[in-house]
Amino acid sequence: MKTGGDAIRGDFRKKDLPPINENIRADKVRLIDENGKQVGVVSLKEALERARESGLDLVAVSPNSDPIVCRIMDYGKYNYEKQKKQQRSKKAQKTIKVKELKLRPRIADNDYQTKLKLAKGFLEDGNRVKFNIFLRGREREKKELVEELIERLKLDLESLGNIEGKPDFQGRRVTVTFVPAK
């Protein structure tokens, strides 16, 4: 008896894979032999016989076409290569993360340098950096403080990244996102 996990795993694999051998539902198929040469349109029975003679499987390569395109191949090897290809493509993908840093318009110079050093490291690693500038009290009325800070960030980070879009003013918070330079 299968456990719950095996049943789910088995079902998942079946959805992804093309029909093979007796699971192919068609009267006639367009056959491609093990060498990649097109044989032509033959009956399913004849195609299965040819596959058995060569000791390989009959795999529906294009099950939605009319007639279905089938190929004689080693199904296990085909499956293995397909999984390896997916793993390689997954490994090649790089996820871009958004790192957030909090600032104030009247930030002390040493604190600013610390935040700047962090931002430079994030941009060098290929991540986006989102600066959240929080405003308190009357700072909300003095937009020029925020604009000066954004300009300062832009000048200090120009070699590593660029501003994405425009600064987003949301009440007490201003958001600026930097993307790594290419």
Question: Within 10 Å of residue 131's Cβ, how many Cβ atoms?
Answer: 22
- CATH for the stretch 98-180: 3.30.110.10
DSSP, collapsed to helix, strand or coil, labels residue 89 as helix
Confidence tier at 16 by pLDDT (50, 70, 90): low
Q: Does domain 4-90 have CATH number 3.90.1300.10?
A: no
Distance CA 165, CA 145 (A): 19
Residue type at 171 in one-letter notation? G
Closest CA to 72 of 20, 131, 27: 20
| Number of residues that this document lists for the chain | 182
The average confidence (pLDDT) of the chain is 83
Percent of the chain scored above 70 by pLDDT? Answer: 91
pLDDT in tens, 106-121: 899 999 999 999 999 9
H or E segment to which residue 132 belongs = strand 128-134
Distance CA 135, CA 127 (A): 26
**Residue ranges of the chain that CATH labels 3.30.110.10:** 98-180
DSSP 34-57: TTS-EEEEEEHHHHHHHHHHHT-E
Question: Which residue do the tokens 């793993």 mark?
Answer: 87
Give me the phi and psi of 74, to 5 degrees please. Answer: -80, 105
Q: Which pTM was predicted?
A: 0.51
Distance CA 99, CA 177 (A): 9
Closest CA to 176 of 133, 143, 136: 133
**Residue ranges of the chain that CATH labels 3.10.20.80:** 4-90
